[in-house]
Structures are given as C-alpha cells and as structure tokens.
Amino acid sequence: MVRSMKYLLIIFGLSLSLNMSAQELSELKQGRAIVTAFAKALKSSLQPALKQQGPVAAINVCTEVAPRLAKQFSTTTDWQVGRTSLNNRNPQNAPDLWERKNLKLFEQQKTQGKDINKLEYWEVVNHRGVRTLRYMKAIPTAAKPCLACHGSNISPKIQVTLNASYPLDKATGYQAGDIRGAFSLSREL
C-alpha cells in the first residue's frame, strides 16, 4: 500500500508538471527561487544573532525580521510570500485549508521516507475566481539552531521570552528531522 501510494504521488506530481503551461512552469521556477532567497536571508539574519547573543536574540529575529522579509519579498515580487505550520508560533501564520492539506501531505511523505529537504507541492487553483499558482516548500527542523526554541527542553529564559512574544505558541516539542512548517507562496496568473 505504501509503495503504491509513493508511485501515485510521483505520478500525480509529474502529471501536474506535464499539465502546466510554459508560463506556469516559469512562475514555479520563480517561486522556488524566491523561497531559496527568503530562506537564505532569514538564515543570514538568524546565524549572527545566535552566535553573538544566543537563542533569545534569535526569537527577536523571528518576531521582527521574518515578517519583514516576507513583506519585502511580497512587495518586490508578484508573489504573496509567507510561512505556515500545523503548529504555528504566530497566529498570523496559521495555515488556510489548502496549506493545511499540503502540510499533512508532507507529513505523510516524510513517514514514507521521503527527504524533507525535497518536499514541495504546487498547484494552479481557482482562488476567488482568479487562476492562482500556489507553492509550498517544507521547512525541516535542524538540531542545533531550531531546537533551542522549538524543541522539548527549552530553557526557562527562552521560555519566558517566547511566552511574552507568543502567548498562543504551539511550535514546541519538535525533534531534529521533523517538519517545522513550510514556506508558502501564491501568485495570480
């Protein structure tokens, strides 16, 4: 059953690619490039904060810099750019129905042994009467930087800062290799 499901998912992904127009494929490549740039910009902000001031400073980067980067990419491209998770820290990043369905698909694919770093999904949908390309790329949980704020053994000092910044936080209890969430993009065609 699992093996046949893998093939079905592969065939489904290929059929999506084959049914996409040249313009849609070009847009998909652009979406992938935006995710790569967004992830790189976020990482280049997080790493110095972690090295110089520790995880509490990284929380400030996630609170202030990550939304600013998403807004920057959204205003400088034709894409709406953001992050989402089934266990979101920021309620503004809660998944919509389409994102929730695909985050669950990512979890199924992870269970089937697929490499989290390669999990992505795209689809052309009718959103409010407009053809829209939607794209998601999974965000893996890394051991060192992620677990200090998203793991099970969070220090009291970090927990106090998290509680102050995110009173409705659901983004803890992760282990290295878990799917932390996903970058989520959409663009009207």
Residues 6+ apart with CB under 8 A from 68: none
Looking only at the bridges linking them, the beta strands covering 120-127 and 80-84 are: unpaired
End-to-end CA distance of the chain: 37
Residue 184, pLDDT score: 98
Whether 133 and 186 have beta carbons less than 8 Å apart is answered as: yes
Residue 18, pLDDT score: 53
Residue 14, pLDDT score: 43
CATH topology of domain 21-188: Beta-Lactamase (3.30.450)
Ranges of each domain in the chain: 21-188
189 residues of the chain, pLDDT tens digit each = 444 444 444 444 444 455 678 888 898 999 999 999 999 999 998 888 888 888 888 888 888 999 999 999 999 999 999 999 999 999 999 999 999 999 999 999 999 999 999 999 999 999 889 999 999 999 999 877 789 899 999 999 999 999 999 999 999 999 999 999 999 999 998
Residue 19, pLDDT score: 66
Q: Which amino acid is at 168?
A: L
Residue 5, pLDDT score: 41
The encoded tokens of residue 45 equal 């902000």
